[in-house]
Chain A
Amino acid sequence: MTHEFDFDAVLASFDRLLQGALLTVELSAAAIVLGLAVGVLGAFAKTSGGVTVRALVSAYVEIIRNTPFLVQLYLIFFGLPALGVKLGANEAALLAMTVNLGAYATEILRAGVEAIPKTQIEAGTALGLSPLQIFRYVILVPALETVYPALTSQFTLIMLASSVVGTISANELSSMASLIDSETFRSFETYLVVTPIYIALAFMFRGVFLLVSRAIFRRRRRLQGVFGFGGAR
């Protein structure tokens, strides 16, 4: 049996796919900002908090990291309305992405914070800084620099993971794909068009993160240049 490939119907809806892709980018960007905020708070709580706080943060991190994103999405999308919280598919997607990314960001940043030499913290304490001030001014930026590669690859992963949001019919790329699939009955062609869009987004994300790192970590690169171990490597 041969299949007549027909991309016309799919390509006719290409602008809707692009709109979906745009929303995927927006959702991911929002999730990155919010997830990073959760991660910073989580890492601070995990490294400076009391026993109970640390245990709660650990529980959050481990529960999220050891369950599928899809189940987290269902729990939020189907569960919250049952508690009387009304939310649309897009909001549910954003919330799930934030909760998921927040846990990974917490764990990654915690590792970064713990990699900071103890002497730095002692120096901060000796200068009379409070734990929060030490975290903010002494630890946070070097920790972010250390874990930047791990953190940003997690950002790309959450964008890719958002492709399961199509199951709850939001408006982002995978949901648009699912809609077009059901209109045209051209499933294979639809996903053959959508997949490269995701790949392009992933490479775009990586490119942006690279540029961002060049911009914000310039000071460090200059220092490395001075000491001669930056350079082409």
Chain B
Amino acid sequence: MPVVALENVTKSFGALTVLDGVSLAVEPGQVVAVIGRSGSGKSTMLRCINGLEQIQSGRIEVAGHVLENNKTALRELRQDVGMVFQSYNLFPHLTVEENITLAPRVVKKEPLAEAKATARNVLEQVGLSEKIDAYPEQLSGGQQQRVAIARSLAMHPKVMLFDEVTSALDPELTEEVLRVMEGLAKAGMTMMLVTHEMGFARRVAHVTVFMHKGKVWESGPSERIFSDPQTPELRQFLASGLK
């Protein structure tokens, strides 16, 4: 059974159709890269999966929860879905440890000791154990993004969504974040990532989805998508993107 399943999802902002009948399935342990031009609907799709955007029609099921417009149900679903943003969005008034323990304590009502133990674990996973007492402003962009990943991991999500998480970073900082994500993939985490890092998508993602004009234009095993694109749109996109 897939962890994430989209069936014929449509979404529009006013007259503008952003998602036009998108269907997609992500199996447990699978890493799915979503590529496409800006405005192709890839980020919106990701944001629909945990209900940050509402869909107009279709069906989304995530980790056994059917997405519906009901606050309580939505919160249940979000506990199983981690999300990492382009702009990190750490809470500036909290230390790294507090950033990580806040949701487990407040949302899941975990005891402090347990939440702190989890925090130490996930920080080690992203290689930032020594920054546990730092404030976000004291960290580099790459470090902040790794803390944001750790913050999501602390909720023990069944799937992680990455929304262009390296777009705001310099190349060397991008590298350290990608390394953390590759580690997660190897450890068996189910992941969906909207990305411009074609090399990373090709190497790490099992499946790559090319979105165009709000549709899944082409998808398949990453190796095939990159070495043997079928549609002219994807060929053109890859030619322009790979420099």
Q: Do chains A and B touch in the complex (CB under 8 A)?
A: no
Residues of A within 8 A of B (CB): none
Residues of B within 8 A of A (CB): none
